[in-house]
Amino acid sequence: MTHVAAQNPARPQADSSKALYGGKGTRRITVRDIAAAKERGEKWPMLTAYDAMTASVFDQAGIPVLLVGDSAGNCHLGYESTVPVTLDEMIMLSSAVVRGTSRSLIVGDLPFGSYQEGPTQALRSATRLVKEAGVTAVKLEGGERSAHQIELLVQAGIPVMAHIGLTPQSVNAFGGYPVQGRGEEAAQQLRRDAKAVQDAGAFAVVLELVPAELAAEVTTALHVPTVGIGAGSGCDAQVLVWTDMAGMTDGRMPKFVRQYAALRESLGDAAKAFADDVVGGAYPAEEHSFH
């Protein structure tokens, strides 16, 4: 942004105090702030969160948008996939994240089975997430196939983040988690999906596991921001599942993940050090005791 302004002195400098990440704002981020960031050409980060304490760490770190993803199924609740997650579980996790935060915009995921019947079911489920958990926005999966649901929620005053490309709730239909949008026919479908959710009123679109070139093209074509996960660097925003980002997840990581900490190892080491102290009599020490 600064680079462009330097080339064209007539263009006003972007006001960095308004930046979604690193800006000076202390009130909760709104969907209007998200739209303004796209106008400014600003990139921003999003993380998942599933509990109040972790969410408060990310809120204080300045992460502008937190997604209470149904990835909670795999990362928090011990399920094999996102498919079994229920709306009641999403409400419980989302309300904890809302309570733990004061600045981040909180997006609650509509779980599998809570919106596929049609717009009326989607509105009933989204209304519960907004009223009972206090989220600002909801996310649902699907492009053209979910456009009517998005339209009704937006008409009702509920901001919607769409999610296209690889949609994990359809893992059984996909037979796994393959990259989407490869080949001309699949790329055309992705373009149609992106246009459909924007036209339906979505304020942002997650692009999951999409070739980088296609994601960049869609990002340029849309006036709402794209949030990439495994979709290259051309998206407006990037999201990671927090347990992947912080090295808490066990097992092999997807190719698109960069780990910024080794929390699983640190936590395991802390647990072992505590256990060794208890067994060896080194904890509690005198300073931990009452007399």
190 versus 239: smaller Cβ distance to ligand KIV = 239
Residue 23 binding ligand KIV, by CB under 6 A: no
CA distance 243 to 250: 9
Residue 20 binding ligand KIV, by CB under 6 A: no
Residue 169 binding ligand KIV, by CB under 6 A: no
CB of 211 to ligand KIV, least distance (A): 17
What is the token pair recorded at 276? 């060794």
70 versus 151: smaller Cβ distance to ligand KIV = 70
33 versus 109: smaller Cβ distance to ligand KIV = 109
Burial class (CB in 10 A: 0-12, 13-18, 19+), 234: middle
Q: Spot the catalytic one: 42, 89, 151, 208.
A: 208
Residue 47 binding ligand KIV, by CB under 6 A: no
| 185 part of the active site | no
Q: b/e for 133-153, b at 16 or more Cβ within 10 A?
A: bebbbbbbbbbbebbebbbbb
Q: Read out DSSP for 227-270?
A: EEESS-TTSSEEEE-HHHHTT-S-SPPPTT------HHHHHHHH
Residue 85 binding ligand KIV, by CB under 6 A: no
What is the token pair recorded at 78? 């011990």
Looking at 63, 140, 229, 248, which residue binds ligand KIV (CB under 6 A)? 229
Q: Give CA 255 to chain center in angstroms.
A: 18
> Which helix (H) or strand (E) segment is 140 a member of?
strand 137-141
By CB under 6 A, the residues from 101 to 140 that bind ligand KIV are 109
CB of 75 to ligand KIV, least distance (A): 8
Q: Is 139 annotated as a binding residue?
A: yes
* Stretch near ligand KIV under the rule CB under 6 A, chosen from 8-16, 64-72, 180-188, 213-221: 64-72
Q: Is 70 annotated as a binding residue?
A: yes
CB of 118 to ligand KIV, least distance (A): 21
Q: Is 109 annotated as a binding residue?
A: yes
- Three-state DSSP state, 65: strand
What's the one-letter identity of residue 34?
I
Beta-ladder partners of 226: 205
What is the token pair recorded at 89? 């579980």
Q: 84, 86, 49, 81: which is closest to 68 by C-alpha?
A: 49
19 versus 166: smaller Cβ distance to ligand KIV = 166
Q: 177, 178, 147, 181: which is closest to 162 by C-alpha?
A: 147
User: Which residues 6+ apart lie within 8 Å of 264 measured at CB?
Assistant: 247, 248, 249, 250
By CB under 6 A, the residues from 235 to 254 that bind ligand KIV are 239, 241
196 versus 205: smaller Cβ distance to ligand KIV = 205
Binding residues for Mg(2+): 70, 109, 141
Q: List, by residue number, the catalytic residues.
A: 208
Contact set with ligand KIV (CB under 6 A) = 48, 67, 69-71, 109, 163, 206, 208, 229, 239, 241
Residue list, annotated binding site for 3-methyl-2-oxobutanoate: 70-71, 109, 139
